[in-house]
C-alpha cells in the first residue's frame, strides 16, 4: 500500500500545496490552506465506497422501483423523549451528532442512554475529556452501580477503531469528536482537518459494521457546532441540546434527521439523579397567575408533531428616546417590527412612541407564524392595560393586508388546549372545525380588525 502523505488544500480554488503558507500560490487568497490527506487514487476510491457495497456496484444502474425496501428495525433508547426526537428510536448504522453548551448535560444524557441500552446491547463509551474514574463517579451519582458498559479513555482514532473492531459493540459513544486525532495528520486535536478526517473514518466504520455511533460535539460562542460545516453533512442526525442558565429544564431539538422529522422537541428536567423526562411539557411553559394580568396570551405552537401550550408576554411602555426599543426573546425581532406596522395600518393602534418588549416564557424559541396573532394581542393587552380571558388560547398568522391566515394542524392544537382545561380559542376562520367541540367555544376571525373587536 502506498504511503499516505499530507497536503494543504485551498478552500477557495482547490489547489494543493506540499506545505502550509499564508497565501495560496494559485488564486492569491489568504488563510485558505488547510491540512488534508492525499490518498492514492485506488485507496481514495475504496474509502469512498466503504460500507456501501463493492466498487463494481457503482457501475450498476437500477430503476428506483427495483430497489429493495428493507424494514428499518429501530431500537428504543430507553428514553421516550429522546426516541421522539430521533424519529422513533435508533437505526443501526446511523451516526448521531449531539451538540450543546458546556455543562448542559450532553455526557449525562448519553451515559443514561447507554446505561439503558447495555441491558440488551453491547455498548462502548469512549471518553476523551474525562478519566474513567470521573465517568464512574457520575454513573454512581446517577444511581448506576452495576452497568455493563464497556469504557475506554482514548483520543487516538486508530486506537479507538482497533478496540471497536475487537469488542464489536452495537452502540459507540465518542465524547467528544473535537478531542479525537489521527496520526495521519500533523495538526492538533480539534483542528478543522482533524475533526473532518476523524469524523469521516468513524462514519465509514459505522456504515460498514451497522453500529450506532453517537458523536458529542462542542459549540462555539455563537451557539453553532465547532469545526467544519461538513461535519453536519456527514452524519445522519444533528441534535442540539439547549437550556437557559439557571433553569433546570433542557430541550433537545433535531435540526437534521435522515430517519425522521426535523424540529421535533424533547423536554427533560435536570435533577440530582440525572435527566428526567417531562411527560407534560405544556405545564412547564405556562405561568401560574393567580389572576389575569395584562400583556399575557396563551398560544398553541407546534414543535415537530407535538402541540405545546406556551405563554407569550408583552410589555409596552412610553419611550423617552427618539428611536423606541423593539426587543423580542424567543421570537424573531424583525417579525415583531413587521407586526407592529400591521397593527398600526390595519388595527389603528400606533406604537411608534412606545417601547415594546415581547417574551416567550420558558426559554422556548417560536419560529412558526402561528405566533403572530398572540403577539399582537399581547401587545394590545399591555398597551390598553386590559386582561384577556384566562381560559382562552390564540393562534394564527397575520398577513400584511391584515388578514388572519390559518396554520397547520389546527385541530390538533385545539384538542391540546381543550385537554388542558381551556374553554375557548381565537383562531383563523379556516382553522375552525366543521363540527362544534363540546364545552369549547371557537371564535373564528378573518381579519385583524375583527380579532381586536372580539377581545374588546
Full pLDDT tens readout for the chain, 456 residues: 455 677 888 877 778 888 888 888 888 888 888 777 765 544 444 444 343 444 445 567 889 888 777 666 889 999 999 999 998 899 999 999 999 998 899 999 999 999 999 999 999 999 999 999 999 999 998 888 777 899 999 999 999 999 999 999 999 999 999 999 998 888 889 888 899 999 999 999 999 999 999 999 998 887 788 878 889 999 999 999 988 766 788 889 899 999 888 878 888 998 888 899 987 888 777 766 778 899 999 999 988 778 899 999 999 999 999 899 999 999 999 999 999 999 999 999 999 999 999 999 877 889 899 999 999 999 999 999 999 999 999 999 999 999 999 999 999 999 999 988 899 999 999 999 988 888 899 999 999 999 999 886
Note the pLDDT of residue 71.
65
Q: Are 203 and 213 in contact (CB under 8 A)?
A: yes
Q: What is the spatial distance between Cα 449 and Cα 191, in angstroms, rounded to a whole number? A: 56
Q: For residue 434, what pLDDT is reported? A: 85
pTM of the model: 0.76
Residue 47: its pLDDT value, please?
Answer: 45
Residues paired with residue 9 on neighbouring β-strands, in sequence order: 16, 34
Strands 265-271 vs 274-277: parallel, antiparallel or unpaired: antiparallel
Residue 146 is predicted with a pLDDT of: 76
Sketch out the chain's domains with CATH numbers.
5-49 (no CATH), 80-279 (3.40.50.300), 284-454 (3.30.230.10)
Amino acid at each position: 500500500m502506498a504511503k499516505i502523505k499530507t497536503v494543504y488544500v485551498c478552500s477557495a480554488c482547490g489547489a494543493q500545496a506540499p506545505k502550509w503558507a499564508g497565501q495560496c500560490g494559485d488564486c492569491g487568497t489568504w488563510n485558505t490552506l488547510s491540512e488534508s490527506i492525499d490518498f492514492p487514487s485506488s485507496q481514495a476510491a475504496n474509502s469512498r465506497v466503504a460500507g456501501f457495497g463493492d466498487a463494481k456496484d457503482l457501475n450498476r444502474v437500477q430503476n428506483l422501483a427495483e430497489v429493495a425496501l428493507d424494514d428499518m428495525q429501530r431500537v428504543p433508547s430507553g428514553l421516550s423523549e429522546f426516541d421522539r426526537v430521533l424519529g422513533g428510536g435508533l437505526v443501526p448504522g446511523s451516526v448521531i451528532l449531539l451538540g450543546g453548551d458546556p455543562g448542559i448535560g450532553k455526557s449525562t444524557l448519553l451515559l443514561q442512554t447507554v446505561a439503558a441500552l447495555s441491558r440488551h446491547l453491547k455498548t462502548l463509551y469512549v471518553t476523551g475529556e474525562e478519566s474513567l474514574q470521573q465517568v464512574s463517579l457520575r454513573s454512581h451519582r446517577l444511581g448506576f452501580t452495576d452497568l455493563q458498559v464497556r469504557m475506554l479513555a482514548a483520543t487516538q482514532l486508530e486506537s479507538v477503531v482497533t478496540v471497536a473492531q475487537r469488542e464489536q459493540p452495537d452502540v459507540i459513544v465518542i465524547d467528544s469528536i473535537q478531542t479525537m486525532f489521527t496520526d495521519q495528520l500533523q495538526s492538533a486535536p480539534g483542528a478543522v482537518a482533524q475533526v473532518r478526517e476523524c469524523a469521516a473514518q468513524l462514519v465509514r466504520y459505522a456504515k460498514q459494521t451497522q453500529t450506532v455511533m453517537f458523536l458529542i460535539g462542542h459549540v462555539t460562542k455563537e451557539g453553532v457546532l465547532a469545526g467544519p460545516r461538513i461535519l453536519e453533512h456527514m452524519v445522519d442526525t444533528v441534535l442540539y441540546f439547549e437550556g437557559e442558565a439557571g433553569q433546570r429544564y433542557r430541550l433537545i431539538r433535531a435540526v437534521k434527521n435522515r430517519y425522521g422529522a426535523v424540529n421535533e422537541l424533547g423536554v427533560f428536567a435536570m435533577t440530582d439523579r440525572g435527566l428526567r423526562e417531562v411527560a407534560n411539557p405544556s405545564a412547564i411553559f405556562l405561568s401560574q397567575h393567580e389572576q389575569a394580568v395584562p400583556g399575557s396570551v396563551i398560544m398553541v405552537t407546534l414543535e415537530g408533531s407535538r402541540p405545546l401550550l406556551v405563554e407569550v408576554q408583552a410589555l409596552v411602555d412610553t419611550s423617552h428616546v427618539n428611536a423606541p426599543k423593539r426587543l423580542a426573546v424567543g421570537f424573531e425581532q424583525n417579525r415583531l417590527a413587521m407586526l407592529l406596522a400591521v397593527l398600526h395600518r390595519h388595527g389603528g393602534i400606533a406604537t411608534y412612541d412606545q417601547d415594546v418588549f415581547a417574551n416567550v416564557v420558558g426559554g422556548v424559541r417560536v419560529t412558526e407564524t402561528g405566533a403572530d396573532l398572540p403577539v399582537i394581542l399581547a401587545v394590545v393587552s399591555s398597551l390598553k392595560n386590559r386582561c384577556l380571558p384566562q381560559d382562552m388560547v390564540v393562534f394564527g398568522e397575520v398577513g400584511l393586508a391584515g388578514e388572519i391566515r390559518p396554520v397547520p394542524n389546527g385541530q390538533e392544537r385545539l384538542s391540546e388546549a381543550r385537554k388542558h382545561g381551556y374553554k375557548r380559542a381565537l383562531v383563523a376562520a379556516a382553522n375552525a372545525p366543521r363540527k362544534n367541540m363540546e364545552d369549547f367555544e371557537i371564535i373564528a376571525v378573518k381579519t385583524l380588525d375583527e380579532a381586536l373587536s372580539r377581545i374588546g
